[in-house]
Amino acid sequence: MSTPYPFTAIVGMDDLRLGLLLNAVHPAIGGVLVRGEKGTAKSTAVRALAALLPEVETVAGCRFSCDPAAPDPHCPDGPHEAGHGASRPTRLVELPVGASEDRLVGALDMERALAEGVKAFEPGLLARAHRGVLYVDEVNLLQDFLIDSLLDAAAMGVTHVEREGVSVRHASRFLLVGTMNPEEGELRPQLLDRFGLTVEVTASRETDERVEVVRRRLAYEEDPAAFAARWAGEEAALRERIAAARALLPTVSLGDAALRQIAATCAAFEVDGMRADIVMARTATALAAWAGRTEVLAEDVRQAALLALPHRRRRAPFDAPGLDEEKLDETLRQNGGDGGDGDPDPDGPDGGPGNGPGGGGRPPQDGPEEPSGASGASEPSVPEQSRGGEGPAQGGGAGEQTPARAGEPFRTRALYVPGVGEGAAGRRSRAHTAQGRTTGARRPRGALSRLHLAATVRAAAPHQRARGRSGPGLVVRRDDLREAVTEGRESNLVLFVVDASGSMAARQRMSAVKGAVLSLLLDAYQRRDKVGLITFRGSGAEVALPPTSSVDAAAARLESLPTGGRTPLAAGLLRARDVLRVERLRDPSRRPLLVAVTDGRATGGPEPVARARQAARLLAADGTASVVLDCESGPVRLGLAGALARELGGPAVTLEELRADAVTSLVHSVRNSNRNLGRAA
């Protein structure tokens, strides 16, 4: 809809509104990351913020929004003379998840280059967002090559473009706002750190509040203009308060006592680098200015910590975000502050109570933080009879064990899918991708994606005389166009099939197995893979986690995995085959890698060994790349996992060989053993 939803009409969401408003007061804070479940008005709030921001003075005709008071001396449209410019509203530039790199950073204007022989630069979204807001919905789903470009611009405030004979540098300072649903996967730590603040949003569980949300939304959809007019007074008042806070900001004093509290808090929570300290300082001063004060108080430091630190204190991808507020209060008390919430601001962002810097605090966490991926300490010795053996009684609840905790994760060897795919950009297997090393040229298949200029010129050159061209320049026709073939890395679907039967239930061994799978999940997280989890025990197999981009969810399911009962290996493999068949229909270009975590035993159902071998051969016939993680232990080993691996057409890897520092070259093992696959799955 052309009329944005009024910011002051948003019900609740105190932390979200406060985080956005603080960035409006002090843009140097660095933006805000909004994490929350779907349908919680994340995008609505961000778009409503843009209407509150003051207008921007720009040099007339400059495509890079140069400030007329201090023009960029390196502006591609310059040089500009200092003077008066034209006013325009602050831009809200949206970066689509599926955007190309050319669209983000800009590229050579091919039309002018071919028609006029001129090397002209066509600006991208980073240029358009300069001195405005860059909004990325579903930021956690951005492809890696876009994240890399975004990181460079956010860190330096400048975009450099070196491609296709074009060398351009232009300013690119923007307020970065991202929204994400954590269920769909997490962000890389480098990008997380670029967001100044983070807020968590959830739908209200209060009946009256939910009723009011629906009532206002229906009224807005029925007549957006009339609804916005009802809130025009509140919007004007809030706009004036933002302007007043901006004017007051330079006079706010950040004393040594507040600085000491900020430094002590960042040190206590062991955040990396110094960016957290700087962001906290800027946020605390913005909070003081928002409250109409010229001095930063302890309550400002506390609120700044709650907004600036939760996404920075994660020590590992599977650590839960959040902040231990008891620890925060104790740190502030020890360094000269009372650590309290302070009195709530009577005039919140929408003129209502409890929405100012002292109110709308985050709900307390459930006790002190504890790393998820538990310690690798050995469990107490358990008699063999109680370890969930393979007897008939173990098929039911009587043989079920308390879930063993995962061992300490480690860096694993890289596992690859053989061949060259064409899946989503990632960091695992070789693939033809939009970005990467140029390996050749070809005629376009549909719309031209990336022009291979040299190959296009070579294709057109022999026909110039026949086309009547005798002077400088080049006549290029559609048949001459060649697109670049580039090879990079793709992400894959890593489907874990985990044996949770009694034969695997010895607690110390299961702890090591879970630690190994957790390590592979960490590797999948870093390589931007989708993951799925299937477990089998007792009388069948179940999909513990359908394929998803949320590796955190897989780690949580793994931690609570119960064990015990017989070993229906065939059921686990057949269930994996069904899941992969459905995923091929949903996402044909994403190639799967099956990781079977088992000691190779098969005891469940009629003819368990023969059925397991038949299921493995079916997966191999489908072209599924597989790896068997051999969990057999003890001085005498039956080699059943190796036999299963041969049926699957993949290698068997022991827990020791899985480690990156193992002597065995697992990479070569995976590639060589899969050469017999006729096609990649």
Active-site residue set: 275
Which residue is associated with the tokens 């939304």? 217
Helices 275-290, 298-308: inter-axial angle, 10-degree rounding: 130
Cβ–Cβ under 8 Å, residues 554 and 531: yes
DSSP state of 172: -
* Phi, psi (degrees; rounded to nearest 5) at 404: -75, 145
DSSP letters spanning 134-189? EEEETGGG--HHHHHHHHHHHHHSEEEEEETTEEEEEE---EEEEEE-GGG-PPPH
Of 525, 527, 521, the closest CA to residue 491 belongs to: 527
Cβ–Cβ under 8 Å, residues 131 and 67: yes
SS3 assignment, position 504: helix
Distance CA 321, CA 310 (A): 6
Strand-pair category, 592-598 with 625-630: parallel
The two structure tokens encoding residue 501: 């039967």
The two structure tokens encoding residue 154: 């956010």
Give the dihedral of Cα atoms 96, 101, 106, 112; nearest 10 deg: -110
Helices 232-248, 14-25: inter-axial angle, 10-degree rounding: 50
SS3 assignment, position 350: coil
Of 206, 295, 204, the closest CA to residue 255 belongs to: 295
Distance CA 335, CA 329 (A): 10
Alpha-helical segments (H) within 188-231: 189-194, 207-222, 224-230
Cβ–Cβ under 8 Å, residues 306 and 362: yes
Instruction: List all residues 6 or more positions away from 420 whose beta carbon is below 8 Å from its beta carbon.
Output: 430, 431, 432, 487, 680
DSSP state of 413: P
